[in-house]
Structure 1
Amino acid sequence: MIRLLRFLVLLIGLGAGLWPTLGQAHALDPGYLQLSAMGEGRWRVTWRVPDVSGRPMPIAARLPEGCADTEPPPPAFDDRAWTTGWIARCPGGLTGGTITIEGLDRTGTDTLVRYEPEPGDIRTHRLTASEIAFTVPARAGRGEVAASYVALGFTHILEGADHLLFVFALLLLISDWRRLFWAITAFTVAHSLTLAAASLGILSVPPPPVETVIALSIVFLAYELSLPPGARDQVAVRFPWVVSFGFGLIHGLGFAGALREIGLPEGDIPLALLSFNIGVELGQIAFVLVVMAGGLVLRALVPALWRHGAALTRGASYAIGSVAAFWVLDRLSGF
């Protein structure tokens, strides 16, 4: 069945010119609102808005009633999104107040709110087009923490083009279902280990090398995919779980970078970490199922394409490798 999915990679080739721009902001990127407690009824507010056609997305953050907002400076563009910040005074605190993202219901994106009712008490809440406001609870319940971080993990993996492309290439490279199962399991175990270690501060690696090696891992799989089965690396052919485990360790560090930006709630760190990882796995499983279903549909609609499977695979491998090589060079330039 894996061979039946190979044509899907050709679709990546058709859009190869668009893939390098996936690292830039677009209308589906999330907004980000952070309220950091400074004490004495003051909060430092950071408001990050996605870019849409060179202008900030028309959404606005509204703090609870009773907060006296200092007029924020105009947002600045950082090549990805529009960011501004200001100091808000909320004498009555945030608890019991309502935080709203106006205009979010007219978009196709969501907004992550990271806030501190008290210094050190970090919480998060995800707002969507169907839920543009929430009331700050006295204390975040464990169910709310779990649901928020599962959703964040799920969203993160589906927005991570490089992680998905790695899984995609892995699916196409391995034709034996048993080896595929163990390869994906090894990838899951590996990135779970480094995600936990980096998020808890046990392991620290600068982001630029991590992101570059992630792109290199895709180049490696694309190269192997371009070769005839008999000429491929024997370790990758006979023990693909070794390859996926090794690269999974690096991908886990990439996941941890996103989680560090979000932060972990004090008192519920294990739960939040586990929930985020579950969200990542659910997103990965959803992606695999969509790819499999797409392969079956294409086989039914265009069965003649599989007569040219070798040529399609070769062309698809070049497309994947070209995109990944671009990412390598682009990320090296950011060192």
Structure 2
Amino acid sequence: MKTLLILLGLLLALLLPTHGHDTSVLVFRFQELGDERYQLDYVAPPGSPQGEAPPVLPAHATWEQEPQLPAGPVRLIFATDGKPLSGEDRIVLPWRCSGVLVHAFWRSGETARRFIPRGDEGIVLTIGELRAGVGGTGEAAKRYTLLGVEHMLTGWDHLLFVAGLLLLVKGWRQVVATITTFTLAHSLTLGLSTLGWVKFESGVVEVLIAFSIAVLAVEIIHVSRGQAGITARKPWLVSFLFGLIHGLGFAGVMEDLGLPRQDLPVALLFFNLGVELGQLAMIGLWFAIVKALRAMKLALPLRFAWAPGYALGIIAMVWCLDRAVGLFS
């Protein structure tokens, strides 16, 4: 049975992404050149989605030259047929990244910065949204909240860490204390790091996040054997200490956005709010599943109480080793 579980854990570790904080947020430059000509600039790393397909232009626009998509900086120029772009025209980026931070430069001297998240059609840049004064605080709040929710719900390492905490805690009082301290801790380091007051190498942070899951896994196994340690006795303390590290991981998103200082308060506040909403959604789903299993009288036999700890530990250690190797590559 243990051999089968180890093989299952290794399979899951290979299927889950090893980099839980890959935000895939792209910086995109839009510039009006004049005479109904426009320029697009972005970076396409080797093997990235933006290196595989060009932006999709409005129907009345054409490329000056057939788009070349080299690995690295990409510059594309297009023109419109007899009339400038209108506010309703759209440029669609058919890429799988979470969103783009657009810098728009107009010949009038007007500039704008907008974060555009991915939608059902891809990432849609509506020209009217790239004008200064469009999309105030309310729109920015919505976008950064959605980015925070998405990052939490697609960050497997964060989700597994919270799942490990929920496997350890007993009773609502412990749940509230443990999750609250985790929230306070990662909010603290998210803010400090985003403001530039605390800095850590992102690769090291990734290794430490995987290690934090491994620590929880070991404690889950100990508890299954009746040997509870400090992690089980005081989960709120451990969640706070490791929450500081997870906050540094969240801060990588804000750093990738390259936001100007004046945009930081709104972005930081609502991104963090989105992270908390995603975390609450995950916890709510967890307890709904537990309640449903109890209603169906389904439970893990006591002799297999160690199984979740082994599965979690195998995934965490594969991540840990993979990320540690990545520090030297």
TM bracket, shorter-chain basis: 0.7 to 0.9
Q: Is it true that 1:311 corresponds to 2:300 in the alignment?
A: no
Q: Is it true that 1:44 corresponds to 2:48 in the alignment?
A: no
Is this contact kept in 2: 1:264–1:273, CA < 8 A? Answer: no
By how many angstroms is 1:185 displaced?
Answer: 0.4
Q: Name the residue aligned to 1:275.
A: 270
* Deviation string, structure 1 residues 96-129 (Cα, Å, up to 9, x no partner): 374433668xxxx675122101498532111311
Q: Name the residue aligned to 2:238.
A: 243
Q: Name the residue aligned to 2:285.
A: 290
TM-score (norm 1): 0.77
Q: How many residues align?
A: 306
Q: Is it true that 1:231 corresponds to 2:227 in the alignment?
A: yes
Is this contact kept in 2: 1:153–1:276, CA < 8 A? Answer: yes
By how many angstroms is 1:324 displaced?
Answer: 0.2
Q: Which one is further off, 290-299 or 113-122?
A: 113-122
Q: Is it true that 1:125 corresponds to 2:116 in the alignment?
A: yes
Partners in 2 of 1:31 and 1:142 — Cα distance? 23
Which secondary structure does the structure 2 equivalent of 1:227 belong to? helix
Assess, with a 3 A threshold, how the Cα gap between structure 1 residues 33 and 238 changes in structure 2: closer, same or farther.
closer
Partners in 2 of 1:331 and 1:173 — Cα distance? 26
Which residues of 2 match residues 112-151 of structure 1 at below 5 A?
112-118=99-105, 121-129=112-120, 133-136=124-127, 137=129, 138=131, 139=133, 140-151=135-146
Task: Return the match for 1:20 from 10, 14, 18.
Answer: 14
Q: Name the residue aligned to 1:96.
A: 87
By how many angstroms is 1:232 displaced?
Answer: 2.0
Which secondary structure does the structure 1 equivalent of 2:198 belong to? coil
Partners in 2 of 1:207 and 1:85 — Cα distance? 26
| Alignment RMSD (CA, Å) | 3.7
Partners in 1 of 2:275 and 2:41 — Cα distance? 30
Task: Return the match for 1:256 from 251, 258, 261.
Answer: 251
Partners in 2 of 1:203 and 1:90 — Cα distance? 45
Q: Which one is further off, 209-218 or 12-21?
A: 12-21
Is this contact kept in 2: 1:195–1:255, CA < 8 A? Answer: yes
Assess, with a 3 A threshold, how the Cα gap between structure 1 residues 272 and 316 changes in structure 2: closer, same or farther.
same
Letter in 2 for 1:123: R
Which secondary structure does the structure 2 equivalent of 1:122 belong to? strand
Percent of paired sites with the same residue: 37
Partners in 2 of 1:185 and 1:254 — Cα distance? 18
Q: Which one is further off, 163-172 or 120-129?
A: 120-129
Q: Which one is further off, 209-218 or 31-40?
A: 31-40
Q: Name the residue aligned to 2:321.
A: 329
Is this contact kept in 1: 2:63–2:76, CA < 8 A? Answer: no
Partners in 1 of 2:47 and 2:39 — Cα distance? 26
Structure 1: give runs of 5+ residues left out of the alignment.
1-9, 77-82
Assess, with a 3 A threshold, how the Cα gap between structure 1 residues 277 and 31 changes in structure 2: closer, same or farther.
closer
Q: Name the residue aligned to 1:62.
A: 56
By how many angstroms is 1:219 displaced?
Answer: 0.4
Structure 2: give runs of 5+ residues left out of the alignment.
none
* Deviation string, structure 1 residues 61-118 (Cα, Å, up to 9, x no partner): 2356668565443465xxxxxx7722446899989374433668xxxx6751221014
Which secondary structure does the structure 2 equivalent of 1:231 belong to? coil
Assess, with a 3 A threshold, how the Cα gap between structure 1 residues 11 and 260 changes in structure 2: closer, same or farther.
farther
Letter in 2 for 1:272: A
Is this contact kept in 2: 1:123–1:265, CA < 8 A? Answer: no
Is this contact kept in 1: 2:12–2:315, CA < 8 A? Answer: no
Q: Name the residue aligned to 1:7.
A: none
Is this contact kept in 2: 1:63–1:100, CA < 8 A? Answer: yes
Is this contact kept in 2: 1:32–1:48, CA < 8 A? Answer: no
Is this contact kept in 2: 1:190–1:246, CA < 8 A? Answer: yes
Q: Name the residue aligned to 2:214.
A: 219
